[in-house]
Structure 1
Amino acid sequence: MKYLLKTKLLIISCFHNRVAEVENSVDSVVSQLTPEMHFVVVDDGSTDGTSEALDQWENRDGKNVTVIHQKNMGFVNSLIYHINNIDCEYIAIHGAGDISYEGRFSKQIVLLDFDKKLGVVSSRVNNINSYDNAKTITGSAFSGNAEKILLKQNIINHGAVCFRKDIYLKAGGYRSFFEFAQDRDLWCRMSHFCEFRVIDDILYERVSNAKNSVSGSPEKRIRQKLLSNLASFCHDMRLKGKSDPLKQYGYFSIYMLSKDKKLEREIFMLALSAIKHKKRESFSIYFDAHEKISSLSISKLLLVLLNKMLPTRYWQSGNGKIK
C-alpha cells in the first residue's frame, strides 16, 4: 500500500466550520511538534472560512503540518480514511477547537515506548462550559486492564488520547456505524489486546456546549448517549463469549438495548442543565427524549411539572438557544 506519509506519531484533527477556534487550537499542537511527529489537519467541507484559516498553518516554520481539504465525510469516516492512509506507530487525536497542553505528546510517546503492554494513553482534562465558563477537571488516574471499567464508563477522553496503530488495527479500528461514541466502542475492543493508562496530569482542555460540537447539540448528544450504551452492550456480549451484536445484526442491534436507568438519569440531568441556563429549545428536546425512554418515575413527573409551571418570562430572560 502506498501511504500518504510516514511518521512515528500521527496527530490528527478534523475541523468543520470552527473558524474562530482554529488559531489557538492548532497552535497548541504545532508548538509541540518534533521531527518524529506529523500533524494532519482535515478540513471536512467547511464553508465559514475554516479552510483558509487552516491553510495558514501548512508547514509553517518548517514544522510537519499537512492540511487536507475534502468534501464533508463526517468525523469518524474522516478518521478511518486518513489513519488507514498514513504509516505511523502511534496515533494521537486532537479535538477541533480544543487545547493540548505543553508536553502532552512527548509524555505519551515516552510511556508507549517504555511499556510495550500499554496500548492507550490519555490524561485528566480541564473542561470549560461555554454557557458560563465554569471549569471542572474530569478523569482519574488509571493503569491496567480496562475491560471491566469500560462497561460502566468511558475513562478515556477522545481528544486527549494517544494509542498504538497496530493494536488499533488488531481491534478492527473505528466502526463507521458509530457516528457518535466511536471512541468508547474502539476502547472497548482495544481493551481485549492491551493495557490502558490515564496520566494524573492535566494535559488537555476542551470546551463543552460549543457551537457545532456534539455537546452543543441536544439531538447529537442524545444519539451519542444511545450509541455509547450500544458500545457498552456489544462489549458486554463479547466478554461473555457471545458474538458482537453489531457484527451479527447490524443496525438492528440498537433495538436490543433494554431501557437504561443510567441513560434516563443522564438525559434528566441534561434537561435540568437546560433549565438552569434558560435554553428553552434544548429543554424541549431533552424533555421529549426523556418521556420516550423513561417509565413512570419521580424524575419524569418532575420534568412534566417544570414544563408546565415555568413561565414564558423565565425563558425569555435567556436567549432560548444554544450559544
Structure 2
Amino acid sequence: MNSIDNIFMTPQPLISVIMPIYNSEKTLDAAVRSVLRQTFANFELIMVEDGSSDRSWNLVQKFAAEDSRIRIYKNETNLGLMKTLNRAIEFSTTSLLARLDSDDEMLPTRLEKQKTFLDQHSEVAVLGTWYSFMGRTPADDLLFRLPVGDAIQQQLLIENPICHSSVMFRKEAFHAVGGYRSEFRNAEDYDLWLRFSKLHKLENIPESLIRVRLSLGGNSIAHRRQMQAFRELALKSYRYPEKNLNDLK
C-alpha cells in the first residue's frame, strides 16, 4: 500500500484526547475502552506514562498495538501531572484537546457533543460537562450538576465550576494563556480556567458525559488544605497578575 492510500484510509484526527498515566493499571482498561467506544471516531488518544511503579506501561503498549489512533510516550523520570499534561499537549496534532483522567470514563457521545457545541460557539474556549460519581453500576451513579452560562463566571471567583476530566478546549487559546503552571499543584485546572476567563468564555454542557471515580486518597484533611491553599493562590494571581507568585504566597 502506498502513502496516498494511507492518506485516504487514515483521516487526519480532529480531536486529541489527553490522558496522563501514573500507576493506573487497575482502571486504565475501562478508561481507554470508553474513549475507543466514542460515536465520534476521528480522534487521537495521546497517553504519556509518568514513571509508574505498576504495570501501566505494559498496558499502554498493548493498547497502542491494538488501535492506530493511540499514540504513547514515556517520561524518562517522574515529572508530575502538570509537566506531563503540557508534554502530552505538545505531542498533539489537532486544534481541540479533550481531557480524561486514567481512572475516569467517557460516555459514548461525549466527544461528538462537545465538538458540535464548540463548532457552533466560537466564543467558547473551554467546554466542560456535568459528571457522575461512579456507583457499583451506572444505574447507581450520583449525578453532579455544575453551573452553566453566566453563573460559571460568578462561581469561578469562589470555587472551581469546571470538571477537569470533562473539558474540551481550544489548543490555540491554551497556549495563549500559558498552559498549565507547575506552581499550582492540585489546583492546576482552577488556575488555568481563571486565566482562560480573562480572554474567553467558559461553558458547561448540562448533561453528564463522564463518570468520575471517587478517590478516597484525595480526601484527607492535609490534602484538602493543600488544595485550598493553591486555589487561593490561583485567585490572588488572577486578581493581581502584575505581582510575582512568591509575593502572593
User: Which residue does 1:55 correspond to in 2?
Assistant: 61
Aligned 1:178-197 pairs, distance under 5 A: 178-197=184-203
For each residue in 1:98-155, what CA deviation from the matched residue of structure 2 results, as whole angstroms up to 9, or x when unmatched?
111111011111111111111111111111489xxx8532233502584433101211
- Return the letter of the residue paired with 1:226: A
Whole-angstrom CA distance in 2 between matches of 1:198 and 1:135? 19
Aligned 1:1-323 pairs, distance under 5 A: 7-32=13-38, 34=40, 36-60=42-66, 62-70=67-75, 71-128=77-134, 135-144=141-150, 146-210=152-216, 215-216=218-219, 218-235=221-238, 237=239, 243-244=240-241, 248-254=243-249
Structure-2 change in CA distance of 1:112 and 1:227 (3 Å): same
Give the percent of matched residue pairs that are identical in Structure 1 and Structure 2.
Answer: 22
For each residue in 1:225-276, what CA deviation from the matched residue of structure 2 results, as whole angstroms up to 9, or x when unmatched?
21112212222x1xxxxx41xx63233422xxxxxxxxxxxxxxxxxxxxxx
SS at match of 1:229: helix
TM-score by length of 2: 0.85
For structure 2, list consecutive stretches of 5 or more residues without a partner in the other structure: 1-11
Whole-angstrom CA distance in 1 between matches of 2:37 and 2:203? 25
SS at match of 1:142: coil
For structure 1, list consecutive stretches of 5 or more residues without a partner in the other structure: 1-5, 238-242, 255-323
Whole-angstrom CA distance in 1 between matches of 2:220 and 2:36? 29
TM-score by length of 1: 0.67
Q: Aligned Cα RMSD in Å? A: 2.3
Structure-2 change in CA distance of 1:217 and 1:76 (3 Å): farther
For each residue in 1:204-235, what CA deviation from the matched residue of structure 2 results, as whole angstroms up to 9, or x when unmatched?
11112245xxx255543321221112212222
Report the structure number with the largest CA radius of gyration. 1
Asked if structure 1 preserves the Cα contact closer than 8 Å seen for 2:133 and 2:213, the reply is yes
Q: Which fold has the larger relative contact order, with Cα–Cα distance below 8 Å and residues 6 or more apart in sequence? A: 2
Asked if structure 2 preserves the Cα contact closer than 8 Å seen for 1:145 and 1:196, the reply is no
SS at match of 2:209: strand
Q: Which runs of 4+ in 1 moved over 6 A?
A: none
- Return the letter of the residue paired with 1:66: R
Whole-angstrom CA distance in 1 between matches of 2:52 and 2:220? 18
Asked if structure 1 preserves the Cα contact closer than 8 Å seen for 2:100 and 2:166, the reply is yes
* Superposed displacement of residue 91, structure 1: 0.8
Count matched residues. 234
